[in-house]
Structure 1
Amino acid sequence: MLVLSHSFYKNCTLTIFTTLKKPLLALLIFTLFASCSKQANDGGAIKEYRQWHTITLNFEGPATSEMAAENPFLDYRLNVTFSRNGRDMVVPGYYAADGNTGDTGADSGKIWQVKFVADEEGDWNYSVSFRKGPSISINDAPEAGEPVAFDGTNGRFKVIATDKTGRDLRAHGRLQYNGLRYLQFAGSKQYFLKGGADSPENFLAYQDFDGTYSSDSTKTFIKSYPAHIGDWKTGDITWKGGKGKGIIGALNYLAEEKMNAVYFLTMNIGGDGKDVWPYVNHQNFERFDCSKLDQWEKVFTHADKLGLMLHFVTQETENELLLDNGDVGPQRKLYYRELIARFAHHLAITWNLGEENGPASFTPHGQNDAQRKAMASYFDHHDPYQNFTVVHTHAALKAREPIVDSLLGYKALDGLSIQIGNKKTVHRETLKLLNQSIKSGHTWVLFQDEIGPANAGAVPDDVDPVHDTLRQEVLWGNLMAGGAGVEWYFGYKYAHNDLNAEDWRTRKNLWRQTAHALAFFQQHLPFWEMSNLNDLTSSENAYCFGKKDEVYAIYLRQGDHTRINLEQNTGKFHVKWFDPLKGGPLKEGPQLLLEGSGWQDLPKLDDNQDWVVLLKRA
């Protein structure tokens, strides 16, 4: 492999894999050197990239390795400043061994990389800072250390429009928090509702990732996803001559079921699974496994193409004091910097500060309020893309409420990853939390990411094929309160649970009901303009979500009936019906129009099943 150094050629980056004989290779190198030098000096054609596509810049620096005495992760700092129209974005880089380590498995080399995604079309410039010094990578002072190697390199490139369509995130742009109840894509301007898998939490404990093993001597199981190998498709990414088909196929299946999110821990040392971490081993928190992380990156890149949000859960309740005793100290800063440098460019990210964060009866030693805020603040100040940031809550109200109350109004936290033990309280709790956040002046995005009890959660289809309670109380309970969607947790009592799940088909019926709900909201409702209006219905069991005098959606359970208060309305409403169990197009019922003011009877269908009544102004 030949990498042309930016320190000499400025605007030229070129990687060549070759088996050419030495004389011919020397001639080729000389020709390339002359060509790049001329182009840089003569202002030749500017390299073109596409908006929302990942741009990878390689830089040749000092030869080193993951375990070198001078730590390449800690004692070198690569920052690249990308500029356009007076706006600067400082993007951290990382040590990449030989630059292709996911395929080669190399743990040494002289390549540093930075990954960047441009959010605007037009001309961009970049300038490089590469400095060396003790622990400099976690030192924010620009002049810390001393400049080395390719420091001072600069270049330019042009960004043109994306060529992607459909689910591919590059067709929609970055998913952003804009101070509203829902995330929004910066490119397509579409609002996002989540449906996805919360289990297995150790999704990344996969046998085809380098350096992946269980640190628990009593546990040898590592995932292979055999049920999903057949879901891998010709042309999909692999590494090392065909590895990765199981995990790539698993993501394919999730996307085929029209889900758009996947949850995973990036570090569970001392936690439940004890089989996922970014380090060279589970005892060294200063050295990172370059090939493993490059293989993670391949999987995450495939997820982008499928339209899947990447839900990074950075720690568990059992290990939240593992790094710096819970502080944002040297170990935690290095961990977060590596996550940001390697993965923040992906277009739909949730940074989750930790599963079940904070003390509770079963985990009395946990992080405190100041430590939680310091973690959120670190991502707020160091992630150049300002990706969505949440914290995962405890299930019990007694443990959850004090922590949540202390975070209300804190600007660096964009929402909550909610865990609730009692399914029947999801709607009420979501509505309460949303109203509290609005009142605080900093509206949260609220995802229902784990449902209890812990031994059950979302049980397999062969145990409960219909999932009435999950559909009514959790899925529609969250959405009709103004929540932003769900991920499904698999309880430990059942097969394919939160630690050993390898087949997502075990919950096929649940994925489909989730997809039906998301499709209804996306296709038929201006949900970002709507709010909960339960007080306009006469039934305590009905959910009402609407925009007054324009559109109302009323969820009725199994033959339930209700009246709706149209207040001072003077117009007519079309009446349509939606089947939340089977989905499909809207249906016509016994009454096509509803008119009048005040309390009106909603028409009733005779069959004993759930229905959603949709009223739209004629």
Structure 2
Amino acid sequence: MLKRLSAPLFAFALVSVLSLTYAQAETVQQWHTLELSFDGPQSSETDEVNPFTEYRLLVTFTHQKSETTVRGFYAADGNAAESSADSGNVWKVRFTPEHTGKWSYTASLRKGEYIAIDDSPSAGTNIDLKNSKGSFTVIPSDKSGRDFRAHGRIVSNDGYFQFKGSGKHWIKGGAGSPENLLGYVGFDGTFRQAAEARKGEAATTEELHVFEPHIQDWKAGDPTWQGGKGKGIIGGMNYLAGKGMNSFYFLTLNILGDGKDVWPYTDYEERERFDCSKLDQWEILFQHMQAKGLLLHVVTQETENETLLDEGNTGLHRKLYYRELIARFGHHLALVWNLGEENGPVHWSPVGQSSEQQKAMATYLDASDPYNHPIIIHTHSTIADKDHLLPALLGHQPLDGLSFQIDRREQTHGEVIKWQNKSREAGKKWLITFDEQGKWYRGALPDSVDPRHDTLRHYALWGALLAGSAGVEWYFGAHYEHNDLTLEDWRSRDTLWDQTRHATTFFENYLPYWEMTPSNDLTLRTDDYCFAKEGEIYTIYTPDSTMTDLDLGSSEQVYSVAWYNPITGGELQAGSVEEVEGPGIKNLGHAPEVIDQDWIILVRKKK
């Protein structure tokens, strides 16, 4: 699609570029993004000398405690989100410093055939840059609350998410639909490629996402672009953050896939040239999501296109794709790289990447990403498929874990425990997040169809978290309104967001969950879940309000007993028994209200 630059916009863009190019950064806040611009050769998205393959910008940032080399990217006129420009002479780099104090940087722009994927420092020829060296001082961040800049970068550590800055652990609860979030009407060059839907996917319409119901959630001061574009999608993120959600699962490439409306390239058939203005508009959205405390769960491909790039290998096109994603978006603090949705060959999708190709992707991403973001892979839905495909990935150090899919939600608890145990035994405990709940045509139903979400809450939410999962995101089934491809209004699951927030709040407020393990053998019931740090703290999910017995072992400590309502949340409540003393098996009494619902029991050693 053509991009036209009006005279007024061009003038504005030029002023913006000059100010960015020649302004000297002096003070930057810790964990905030520093964006530097450099004047390079005049080029364009369609130039015969491809700026995305034939140039390489590297910027090395040095502090007394660390040195980090970050790749830059071609940025057209430097203001493409506003101007829609596809040409210019600006290259940029984005960097988030983790240490306070004095920093310096040195930039290098080199030209050569496919130098963009060449790691040799001496490859190509050097191009002189103005202001190729500089310095700045990093001071503490002034952010607070949900904004990730108040906490630092999220990394994977022993099966859980953790902030690298504060050391605080973080548990995920968010949205997994629509997966084609970026198929949005306000992004340049975005359209839906017409094609027949395959059996087993949500039906799409001819329309891109507008998210009109969420325009009301956009607030004065929130970002837009090009005179007011983006209010629906920005407002939608405001709504989800306001409900306490902290993550979103979305695709960056669905060519040949379900939606056929998301790609970073200048065209559906292109693989070596990227759309500068579209990607800068994505960046506006991503910045807002980070400020609102929403992790970017970046799913880089789906099952239908996992062999689209280099026939599944990590060759020219896959390397270019990953390098561009890292250069433009890797600076974000809360980001997970997902190698692919439903990845690997199965009977209904026999053309897929092999385990060696999967490991090569993980290895390349791990080596190319200077920020050490978690790397995971989305599984197929059945136990048999996971048992067949996943063992070959166990112990592969660059892979941090699994984005779990299960077609029968009642299997969640046992399957998460199984793969955590297998990965631990193989030498690296996997971070496992539960991101797609079956059946594929049902998923997380709208509140109007399933007002209480009893089975989701039982098996998927608490079943996953009390098995040691690092979090949950909700997939919306294909056969219902506001599904995985057509959702326009996240209020369709308003109650589900509340129940998810109640669960993550409980974990954050009451549990050292990273020190706890599934311990179902400590209770006498067979239909509950027990999560424990034995001798210290126990959490039990019971599917009803009747009595539960807990084995305190040889401990002679006194423990408090409190109950938590997973449907309404709120404060801890007293049941019929308020404390127990070990050793041995002790009855925990019954819930504050003997009603037809599930409860959470919290048993803690008294000081």
When normalised by structure 2's length, the TM-score is 0.94
Partners of 1:560 and 1:228 lie apart in 2 by: 42
Q: Identify the residue that residue 505 of structure 2 maps to in structure 1.
A: 519
Which residue, 75, 84, 95 being the options, matches 1:105? Answer: 84
Does structure 2 conserve the Cα–Cα contact (< 8 Å) formed by 1:418 and 1:450? yes
Does structure 1 conserve the Cα–Cα contact (< 8 Å) formed by 2:155 and 2:161? yes
Q: Where do 4+ consecutive residues of structure 1 move more than 4 Å? A: 15-20
Deviation digits for residues 170-225 of structure 1, max 9, x if unmatched? 001000113x1211012232211111111101000000000000111675210100
1:496-535 equivalence runs, <5 A: 496-535=482-521
Which residue, 86, 90, 106 being the options, matches 2:69? Answer: 90
Which residue, 391, 402, 413 being the options, matches 1:427? Answer: 413
Partners of 2:434 and 2:401 lie apart in 1 by: 11
Partners of 1:396 and 1:611 lie apart in 2 by: 29
Which residue, 113, 133, 136 being the options, matches 1:157? Answer: 136
Read off the aligned partner of 2:27 and give its amino acid letter: E
Q: Identify the residue that residue 613 of structure 1 maps to in structure 2.
A: 601
1:369-408 equivalence runs, <5 A: 369-408=355-394
Partners of 1:18 and 1:271 lie apart in 2 by: 35
Deviation digits for residues 151-171 of structure 1, max 9, x if unmatched? 892111111100000000000
Q: Do structure 1's residue 216 and structure 2's residue 190 form an aligned pair?
A: no
Partners of 2:131 and 2:287 lie apart in 1 by: 30
Which residue, 330, 338, 341 being the options, matches 2:324? Answer: 338
Q: Identify the residue that residue 484 of structure 1 maps to in structure 2.
A: 470
Read off the aligned partner of 1:413 and give its amino acid letter: L
Q: Identify the residue that residue 428 of structure 2 maps to in structure 1.
A: 442
Which residue, 159, 165, 172 being the options, matches 1:187? Answer: 165
Does structure 1 conserve the Cα–Cα contact (< 8 Å) formed by 2:13 and 2:78? no
Q: Do structure 1's residue 569 and structure 2's residue 555 form an aligned pair?
A: yes
Which residue, 306, 311, 328 being the options, matches 1:325? Answer: 311
Q: Do structure 1's residue 202 and structure 2's residue 192 form an aligned pair?
A: no
1:5-44 equivalence runs, <5 A: 17=12
Q: Percent identity?
A: 50
Read off the aligned partner of 2:597 and give its amino acid letter: Q
Please report how far the alpha carbon of residue 521 of structure 1 lies from its aligned counterpart in structure 2 after TM superposition: 0.8
Read off the aligned partner of 1:187 and give its amino acid letter: G
How many residues matched? 583
Q: Identify the residue that residue 144 of structure 1 maps to in structure 2.
A: 123
1:55-94 equivalence runs, <5 A: 55-85=34-64, 87-94=66-73
Read off the aligned partner of 1:75 and give its amino acid letter: E
Does structure 2 conserve the Cα–Cα contact (< 8 Å) formed by 1:128 and 1:151? no
What is the RMSD computed on CA atoms of the aligned residues? 1.7
Unmatched segments (≥5 aa) in structure 1: 1-14, 21-28, 41-45
Give SS of 1:62's match. strand
Does structure 1 conserve the Cα–Cα contact (< 8 Å) formed by 2:185 and 2:209? yes
Please report how far the alpha carbon of residue 111 of structure 1 lies from its aligned counterpart in structure 2 after TM superposition: 0.3
1:200-279 equivalence runs, <5 A: 200-216=178-194, 220-279=206-265
Does structure 1 conserve the Cα–Cα contact (< 8 Å) formed by 2:377 and 2:401? yes
Does structure 2 conserve the Cα–Cα contact (< 8 Å) formed by 1:130 and 1:151? no
Please report how far the alpha carbon of residue 400 of structure 1 lies from its aligned counterpart in structure 2 after TM superposition: 1.6
Distance 1:355 1:133, change over 3 A: same
Give SS of 2:170's match. coil
1:352-371 equivalence runs, <5 A: 352-371=338-357
Partners of 1:396 and 1:500 lie apart in 2 by: 25
Read off the aligned partner of 1:113 and give its amino acid letter: K
Please report how far the alpha carbon of residue 532 of structure 1 lies from its aligned counterpart in structure 2 after TM superposition: 1.0
Does structure 2 conserve the Cα–Cα contact (< 8 Å) formed by 1:62 and 1:149? no
Distance 1:18 1:172, change over 3 A: closer
Please report how far the alpha carbon of residue 592 of structure 1 lies from its aligned counterpart in structure 2 after TM superposition: 1.4
Read off the aligned partner of 1:607 and give its amino acid letter: I
Read off the aligned partner of 2:276 and give its amino acid letter: C
Partners of 1:60 and 1:304 lie apart in 2 by: 29
Partners of 2:131 and 2:497 lie apart in 1 by: 51
Read off the aligned partner of 1:406 and give its amino acid letter: A
Does structure 1 conserve the Cα–Cα contact (< 8 Å) formed by 2:38 and 2:130? no
Q: Identify the residue that residue 7 of structure 1 maps to in structure 2.
A: none
Does structure 2 conserve the Cα–Cα contact (< 8 Å) formed by 1:529 and 1:547? yes
When normalised by structure 1's length, the TM-score is 0.92
- Structure of greater Rg: 1
Read off the aligned partner of 2:223 and give its amino acid letter: I
Deviation digits for residues 221-262 of structure 1, max 9, x if unmatched? 101001111000000000001100000001001101100000
Partners of 1:16 and 1:224 lie apart in 2 by: 30
Partners of 2:87 and 2:188 lie apart in 1 by: 15
Read off the aligned partner of 2:447 and give its amino acid letter: D
Please report how far the alpha carbon of residue 402 of structure 1 lies from its aligned counterpart in structure 2 after TM superposition: 2.2
Does structure 1 conserve the Cα–Cα contact (< 8 Å) formed by 2:211 and 2:489? yes
